[in-house]
């Protein structure tokens, strides 16, 4: 729980300046509610099919779905940014969701505790579906993120991209959630209307610039506040010394 709370606080500092408070809370609510609802439905269907009494006493809970969803959001905002883990290992942000899923899946397998994996995988997937197809863009009237950096295959190794793109494209057509990207379409929204997002690379660049600007403004405000505190403390020191000297006389 402590790890999840710390992760939420750290990731929220990256995502909230970019999305805004209202959209950020909306994102958290959608991911959390959809994950809990889908887990409940899956458990109910499993119990109805198997009549396993063990399911009635199995605890299903956890906040890792939100953490996984926030990592997907960070991947969308700054995919090429590099971070250092433990001050040594440098990793590109776009690989963090996949690394988290792999590490926690391996840990669950080692401990033979698979109950919480549903929250983890559904949190990452539901966050991607919302951001990819439904999130309202702040600078236009269209929805979703059709950039190549945010395709479903981007969560997997490059050699798996071709078959995954083929299956994802087919499912996208079936469920009418397909983005037509590239120079021919110049971006499409989920209803098939022409988008004003521009090309995928241009849209991704604008998103990264906005994210970087928001982070710089946040850091600049904190730095300015720290400098003001230092100046205030420095000004207070001579005044205190003067008061002490006057009292001594």
Q: Are 80 and 150 in contact (CB under 8 A)?
A: no
pLDDT above 50 (res 248) = no
Q: What average pLDDT score do residues 89-117 get?
A: 87
CA gap 148, 132 in Å, rounded: 11
Of 154 and 2, more confident? 154
Percentage of the chain modeled with pLDDT above 70: 67
CA gap 150, 72 in Å, rounded: 9
Q: What average pLDDT score do residues 116-128 get?
A: 91
pLDDT above 80 (res 14) = yes
User: Which of 10-14, 203-207, 233-237 has the highest mean predicted lDDT (pLDDT)?
Assistant: 10-14
CA gap 93, 73 in Å, rounded: 10
pLDDT above 80 (res 240) = no
Q: Are 197 and 204 in contact (CB under 8 A)?
A: no
Out of 37-41, 80-84, 220-224, least confident range = 220-224
- Residue 209 is predicted with a pLDDT of 66
pLDDT above 90 (res 71) = yes
CA gap 241, 4 in Å, rounded: 47
166, HSE (Cβ side, Cα atoms, 13 Å): 3
Q: Give the rounded distance of the alpha carbon of 78 from its chain centre.
A: 10
How many CB atoms within 10 Å of residue 49? 8
Residue 102 has phi, psi (to 5 degrees) of: -65, -45
Out of 17-26, 54-63, 137-146, least confident range = 137-146
CA nearest neighbour of 34 among 153, 145, 125, 155:
125
CA nearest neighbour of 208 among 145, 122, 124:
145
Please name the residue ranges forming H helices in the chain: 2-19, 21-50, 64-77, 96-111, 117-129, 161-174, 200-248
- Residue 205 is predicted with a pLDDT of 61
Q: Which residue has the tokens 């236009």?
A: 140
> SS3 of 103, please?
helix
Q: What average pLDDT score do residues 142-167 get?
A: 86
Of 33 and 234, more confident? 33
Model confidence at 186, pLDDT cuts 50, 70, 90, reads: very low
User: Which of 4-13, 33-42, 75-84 has the highest mean predicted lDDT (pLDDT)?
Assistant: 33-42
């Amino acid at each position: 729980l402590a790890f999840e709370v710390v992760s939420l606080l750290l990731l929220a500092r990256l995502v909230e300046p970019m999305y805004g408070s209202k959209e950020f809370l909306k994102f958290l609510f959608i991911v959390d509610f959809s994950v809990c609802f889908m887990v409940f439905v899956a458990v109910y269907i499993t119990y109805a099919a198997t009549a396993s009494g063990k399911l009635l006493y199995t605890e299903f809970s956890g906040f890792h779905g939100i953490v996984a969803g926030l990592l997907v959001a960070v991947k969308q905002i700054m995919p090429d940014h590099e971070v250092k883990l433990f001050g040594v290992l440098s990793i590109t942000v776009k690989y963090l969701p996949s690394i988290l899923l792999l590490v926690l899946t391996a840990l669950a397998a080692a401990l033979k505790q698979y109950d919480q994996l549903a929250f983890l995988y559904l949190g990452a997937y539901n966050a991607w579906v919302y951001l990819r197809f439904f999130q309202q863009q702040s600078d236009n009237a269209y929805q979703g993120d059709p950039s190549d950096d945010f395709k479903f295959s981007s969560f997997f190794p490059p050699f798996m991209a071709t078959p995954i793109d083929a299956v994802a494209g087919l499912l996208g057509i079936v469920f009418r959630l397909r983005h037509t990207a590239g120079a021919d379409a110049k971006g499409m929204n989920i209803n098939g209307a022409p988008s004003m997002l521009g090309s995928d690379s241009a849209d991704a660049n604008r998103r990264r610039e906005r994210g970087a600007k928001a982070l710089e403004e946040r850091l600049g405000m904190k730095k300015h506040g720290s400098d003001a505190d230092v100046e205030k403390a420095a000004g207070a020191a001579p005044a205190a010394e003067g008061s002490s000297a006057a009292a001594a006389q």
